[in-house]
Amino acid sequence: MSTIYEIPCVKGFIRMCNDGWLQGWHERNGGNLTYRMTGEDVAACRPYFDAEPREWVNMGVQADNLAGEYFITTGSGKFFRNVEPDPIHSIGIVEINDKGDSWRIVWGLADGARPTSEFPSHFMNHSVRKAATNGANRVIYHCHATNVIALTYILPLTDRDFSRALWQSATECPVVFPEGVGVCPWMVPGGADIAMATSEKMKTYQAAIWAQHGLFASGPDFDITFGLAHTIEKSAEIYVKVLSMGGGLIRQTITDDDLRAIAHDFGVTLNENFLD
Ligand code: 2HA
Ligand code: ZN
């Protein structure tokens, strides 16, 4: 293996950044991606780490269950558009200290770059999803999915309203996210408050919507996480088109009994709080 870019976790990370860019969800420096590495990933990447790690930086949030972990992360202010052509300046690997409250860069983020401005949100979400999935969750992805954002201007900002609208707008949705989606009110991005609010939602849901801002999705790998974001955004796009075409009139939709029938046949448990 001659470069770090051929190692599957780094290759998959870069591919997912480019996939998001190609979807149009990452204007300018919009969006961010983090991946919690396996021991095998770290061992494969370690030969490429810098000779000297950079200094420890406190995050303002803390999680015991992420002490000593390594993450691949996009850089603050970096453009998804540039990840594939210029990874060394666009992404990096950080190590978490044994208190679970600070990071230091061990590879990439060249020339003074830092992890994403949303690293505190990603970190808290990793902590919650790692606990909720017995360690299976490894990916947290934030994107500016256009139609999801548009819906936050017209739908009530409740978990119930968004979950129902998305379930009803694409038949596979109840199978892909049977627990529904969480919705956070508009908040200032980048800080500990939005990190805590989002991670509270992620105790129940695989994905959370940030009003007038975007989407947070989680999953065990790049395929499942990107697929979740893609499914949610596709469904939102259909709902936007339906509302736009019909002047708000919806002649027919997937009924609650239809949703129950899908859940039954596909062997998933729908969140009954969101059904009538
Ligand atoms: O990285 O998307 O939420 C820019 C953002 C902040
Ligand atoms: Zn954002």
- Chain segment 83-124, per-residue pLDDT in tens: 999 999 999 999 999 999 999 999 999 999 999 999 999 999
Mutate to test the pocket of ligand 1, among 116, 198, 216 (most ligand atoms within 8 A of CB): 116
Confidence tier at 253 by pLDDT (50, 70, 90): very high
Question: Is ligand 1 within 6 A of the CB of residue 12?
Answer: no
Question: Is ligand 1 within 6 A of the CB of residue 32?
Answer: yes
Confidence tier at 2 by pLDDT (50, 70, 90): confident
- Do 14 and 132 contact (CB within 8 A), yes or no? no
The single-letter code of the amino acid at 218 is S
Share of the chain above pLDDT 70, in %: 100
Residues 6+ apart with CB under 8 A from 75: 89, 90, 91, 92, 108, 109, 113, 114, 115, 116
Confidence tier at 192 by pLDDT (50, 70, 90): confident
Q: Which ligand is nearest to the CA of 121?
A: 1
Mean pLDDT, range 207-217, rounded to an integer: 98
Share of the chain above pLDDT 90, in %: 97
CA angle, residues 216, 103, 41, in degrees to nearest 5: 75
What pLDDT was estimated at residue 1?
A: 55
C-alpha closest to that of 179 among 205, 199, 158? 205
| 3-state secondary structure (DSSP) of residue 253 | coil
